[in-house]
Amino acid sequence: MGMLVSAFMRLGIVSSVSDEGSIGSLTLCVALLCTCIVLGHFLEGNRWVNGSIVALIIGLSTGTVILLTSKGKNSRLLEFDEKLFFICLLPPIIFNAGFKVKKKRFFRNFLTIMLFGVLGTLISFCIVSFGAKTVLDSLAIGSFELQDYLAIGAVLSATDSVGTLQVLNQDDTPLLYSLVFGEGVVNDAASVVLFKAIQRFDVSQVKSTVAWEFVANFASLFITSTLLGIVIGLLSAYIIKKLYFGRHSTDREVALMILMAYLSYVMSEMFSLSGILTVFFCGIVVSHYTWHNVTQKSKITTKHTFATFSFLAESFIFFYVGMDALDVEKWRFVTDSPAKSVGVSALLFLFVLVGRASFIFPLSLLSNFVRKSKNDKISLKQQVTILWAGLTRGAVSMALAYSQFAKSGHIQQPGNAILITSTITIVLFSTVVFGLLTKPILKTFLASSVYPDPSEPPSVDSQLLLGDERGSEANKKLRQFHRSSSLQMLFTAPTYMVHYYWRKFDDAVMRRVFGGRGFSSYDIDSIEEESVF
Amino acid sequence: MGMLVSAFMRLGIVSSVSDEGSIGSLTLCVALLCTCIVLGHFLEGNRWVNGSIVALIIGLSTGTVILLTSKGKNSRLLEFDEKLFFICLLPPIIFNAGFKVKKKRFFRNFLTIMLFGVLGTLISFCIVSFGAKTVLDSLAIGSFELQDYLAIGAVLSATDSVGTLQVLNQDDTPLLYSLVFGEGVVNDAASVVLFKAIQRFDVSQVKSTVAWEFVANFASLFITSTLLGIVIGLLSAYIIKKLYFGRHSTDREVALMILMAYLSYVMSEMFSLSGILTVFFCGIVVSHYTWHNVTQKSKITTKHTFATFSFLAESFIFFYVGMDALDVEKWRFVTDSPAKSVGVSALLFLFVLVGRASFIFPLSLLSNFVRKSKNDKISLKQQVTILWAGLTRGAVSMALAYSQFAKSGHIQQPGNAILITSTITIVLFSTVVFGLLTKPILKTFLASSVYPDPSEPPSVDSQLLLGDERGSEANKKLRQFHRSSSLQMLFTAPTYMVHYYWRKFDDAVMRRVFGGRGFSSYDIDSIEEESVF
């Protein structure tokens, strides 16, 4: 969505886009993206391949052709600017993630998701950074500062769980899906926030309190970013509900929703907060309130427009990563010592694996400790699936790596070059290998285990997860609980309490002011008289 | 729509967008666009104001505030790049125009539209260029080349009939609406093609055959651009019809339609054709074939997405024109001789008026000559309305003026400065004054005259214009005509013949291959089982 408006951002820059060469590249790029979509559609039912791999392979093929025609000088149609990624491509992906998240499931597992997404990312970051320092120092490659070690740790802590999510079924394995999805989004935000904190980190002034300051900084960034997203989301709901009453215009509504979503992102970036977190929570609020205040047509349009933008942005990123992987300049330093470079990539990936394993199992244990119902506990198989889902490194890692190690647009130092190529290697390897293996392995692995034992009656927990109808049943049960003893409930099921009081508050106050399901005249599927065209 | 992808275009440019200043400007810009939308909505029912004027006024206010806070140094949040206009903002506007054009009416009046749009633009161009040469030479302002006179002629021949179209009712005054709309689009294309031809024009090699070469060049550009648009439109229809059969995915369909529409534009530009014409005809073909091959949800989504993009692009342009009008640098040269500068603007606008009058009336006469039915002739009141509709100068004029007279991004020569400021003055004056007057004047002026005399039975012509149902009635009549004597018909109603055979061909061949209304499984309003969310 933001991409629409994002075109404005480069207003200030005199460019060479009207050169016949640039417009030719642009044309080829658009044509190849079309090819990605069509091929991706054909291969949808395929056992091995997914959309990301298709885009990656088309990118690699394009890179090869350009490399051959330019006689080894170039492999890219267009030069990637990591700012483009953060200003144009990331916002629609994250906003759409927030927009389509199953809110109940997400908030039901909120604590576990935060454990994995925030604490887990921090643990992984520490291990990878420490490992990188050990490896790079012992192999004596280039000269690095402390910041570089920390940066590569943050870069390699950003997971990409899209491949696994495509395989998991939201209805068959709700808990697993919710955890993998939630961790993925929070991890994206956490690693970017972490990366920002590192870039601001003043290495010269290391004091004893630095770790605490770091954590405090991280926490305040997290909270203010979230609040900003919620405020702008509510503002959009209020504007559309109050001001548009009685005279809804689909095009204006759609434009306003898109613009305000994007506004949340850029405003957050302007205040040096985490735009990614802001736009994610803005997406949640928009889908909970704003979306229910608009016409049926606007609902359909926005839902699919957000999804389409996200889809296009993702396809483009993988296409570009494929094309960029063949860029000669980056590999020049590597060819001097290929063995060393393969070693670095392999060892770094090993640390990624170790880093991930060392927080998934302990944190799952911790999470299971507070989960009472047997069905609600995270089984070992589920833990392994979550471990697997977060091993792939993708677009965010690439963008962060470019941002840190290719600042001038070119790779000057051999040290930086090897960190970039290692990142590319890990991204390519994990995307292709795990991408190919995920479908067949997960299908077999999960076939028997994750479905709850049908002999055991569903717990209140799982009822709460199953959408509105059953949710309201659970709600009744909760009200009975509540009548019997609210103190007892406080001990047995604190999250239900929170959920129960939130629902009460939501119905009594929030939805009255900001609209939402059941509180808008447009909620009965009232496609207007006017025909579609 | 193209804006979405257009963000890619600037990949190659290292920018300063992540500077806190730029991101701040971007944020403010997005916030002000939101304001434009909300205010525009409030003032929708207003007798005087329209959306363009709202955006213009907000732009002017923003410019004033920036001018005051920067102590007269600057008036703009962002620097306009005319390439942004042509690569990002224009394609969605023109594509949407083609997409929502009433095809029957457009093609029914094709000859008249082409007369006004192409020949009329050329006549206006000659008169304004000649007038500009006379005025500028006699006032001895700056030093101009022949190309500059020709360029200002093309710049001031690009009309902006949006304001009038907002007032005219497509159902009450179909002929008038069709002529004003059609002329507007063809004029956009014609003036841009003309402008391109002038920029390529080699002044040093003026031969006697130059006029003919110019015309031939113009014609070949026109025809090849149109064909390219048709081919890509058909290709998109074919791909979506054949490849997606049975497994429709809304997001993929929407993405593909957007990308292929944009592809038509950039490909046309790559071949140095007129992207504007290509994307317009691509829009017509997409709405006639492709749009009928997709799911109901995709139909709703694409229709509103295209409209929203177009709406946003238009709002942004007027917002920017308002903001830019206060740019001090441009006015510096003018302040030396304000009287001269006002004079130039006024005289140029006089030539615009003369140029327009001198083709509307003769060409209407010519067009009426071949129109048999009384109701079908263009009455004097209608001619005056068409004249009025095309007097406003808008975004295209601004973009062309920047492109010619502000090449380096700054106005170096006093001569160029005065042409830019004159263009701004004419655009502002005509947009605001005509914008304010159009609604009240046209409502009064047209109230009695344009509706056909109800005592007279509707002619076959007007039946043909009235949508499918009556159209098929007229079709029957035509078939009777045809049976009686196809030779007779050839003389009495050649356009019906063309229309009749086209319909036959369309039904027998085109729709079978490319899909279209009645030839797609998705045509019965079959919203899928899956709920909207």
d(CA B480, CA A158): 72
| ipTM for the whole predicted complex goes beyond 0.85 | no
DSSP helix/strand/coil, B447: coil
Does A250 contact B at CB distance below 8 Å?
Answer: yes
Split at pLDDT 50, 70, 90, the class of B18 is very low
Residue type, A414: P
What is the per-residue pLDDT across A419-474, written as a single tens digit (0 to 9) for each?
A: 888 888 898 888 888 888 887 888 777 765 444 444 444 443 433 333 344 444 44
Q: What is the pLDDT of residues A274-325, one digit of tens each?
A: 888 899 999 999 999 999 888 888 999 999 999 999 989 888 888 888 887 7
Over pLDDT 70: what percentage of chain A? 76
What's the confidence (pLDDT) of residue B358? 92
pLDDT digits (tens, 9 = 90+) for B354-380: 999 999 999 998 888 877 777 778 888
Range scoring the smallest mean pLDDT among A160-164, A204-208, A355-359, B428-432: A204-208
Which of B29, B33, B260 has its CB closest to that of A34?
B260
pLDDT band at residue A409, thresholds of 50, 70 and 90?
low
Q: Find residues 448-477 of chain B whose CB sits inside 8 Å of chain A.
A: none
Secondary structure (3-state) at A393: strand
Position A143 pLDDT exceeds 80: no
A330-380 confidence digits (pLDDT tens): 777 666 777 788 888 999 999 999 999 999 999 998 888 877 777 778 888
What pLDDT is recorded for position A14?
26
Looking up tokens 């802001």 gives A278
In eight-state DSSP terms, residue B12 is: G
- The total of other beta-carbon atoms located within 10 Å of residue B13's CB is 18
CB A170, CB A177: distance < 8 Å:
yes
Identify which of B463, B58, B62, B89 has the alpha carbon closest to the alpha carbon of residue B312: B89
User: C-alpha B97: how far from its chain's center?
Assistant: 7
- Matching CATH number, A2-8+18-407+414-446, of 3.40.50.450, 3.40.50.12280, 1.20.1530.20, 3.90.1420.10: 1.20.1530.20
The values of phi and psi at residue A63, to 5°, are -55, -45
Of residues A128, A172, A121, A135, the one with CA closest to residue A151? A128
Q: What is the pLDDT of residue A202?
A: 64
Of A12, A249, A256, the CB nearest to B34: A256
Q: Take residue A287 and report the two structure tokens written for it.
A: 């889908």
Q: What is the pLDDT of residue A341?
A: 81
The end-to-end CA distance of chain A, in Å, is 24
Report residue B301: phi and psi, to 5°.
Answer: -60, -50
Q: Which pTM does this prediction carry? A: 0.81
State whether B258 and A308 contact (CB < 8 Å): yes
Question: Which residues of chain B from 350 to 389 reach within 8 Å of chain A, CB to CB?
Answer: none
Element of type H or E holding B262: helix B250-270
Which residues in chain B are contacts of A297 at CB distance < 8 A?
A: 300, 304
Q: Compute the count of residue pairs across chains A and B with CB atoms less than 8 Å apart.
A: 255
* Whole-angstrom distance, CA of residue A84 vs CA of residue A62: 21
At A78-131, the pLDDT tens digits run 665 667 778 888 899 889 988 988 887 788 888 888 899 989 999 999 999 999
pLDDT for res A457: 40
Cβ-defined contact of B250 to A17 (cutoff 8 Å)? no
Architecture of domain B2-11+18-446: Up-down Bundle (1.20)
CB B336 within 8 A of CB B413: no
The H or E element spanning position A348 is: helix A338-370
Mean pLDDT highest for which of A410-414, B27-31, B506-510?
B27-31
Distance from CA of A46 to the nearest CA of B (A): 14
Segments making up each domain of chain A, as ranges:
2-8+18-407+414-446, 461-514
Indicate yes or no: CB of B37 within 8 angstroms of CB of A256.
yes
pLDDT score of B12: 28
Quickly count helices (H) and strands (E) in chain A.
26, 0
A54 closest CA partner among A310, A319, A308, A312: A319
- Across all residues in chain B, what is the average pLDDT? 77
Q: In sequence order, which ranges of A325-337 are alpha helices (DSSP H)?
A: 328-336
Yes or no: say if B233 and B226 are a contact pair by the CB < 8 Å rule: no
Q: State residue B72 phi and psi, 5-degree precision.
A: 75, 10
b/e per residue, A318-341, with b = 16+ CB within 10 A?
Answer: bbbbbbbbbbeebbebbeeeeeeb
Q: Give B492's contacts (C-beta < 8 A, 6+ positions apart).
A: B372
Contact call for residues A314 and A59 (beta carbons, < 8 A): no
Question: A312: Cβ–Cβ under 8 A, 6 or more apart, which residues?
Answer: A3, A33, A92, B4, B5, B255, B258, B259
For B85-131, write each residue's pLDDT tens digit. Answer: 788 888 998 899 889 888 888 888 888 888 999 899 999 999 999 99
Q: Of the candidates A40, A78, A255, which has its C-beta nearest B8's C-beta?
A: A78
Q: How far is it, in rounded angstroms, from Cα B224 to Cα B236?
A: 18
Q: Which is more confidently placed, B134 or A327?
A: B134
A88 touches chain B (CB under 8 A): yes
Chain centroid offset of residue B62 CA:
27
Contact (CB, 8 A) for A344 and A420: no
Q: At what angle do helices A174-200 and A90-100 cross, to 10 degrees?
A: 140
- For the cut 70, the answer to whether the pLDDT of residue A43 exceeds it is yes
A159: DSSP letter: B
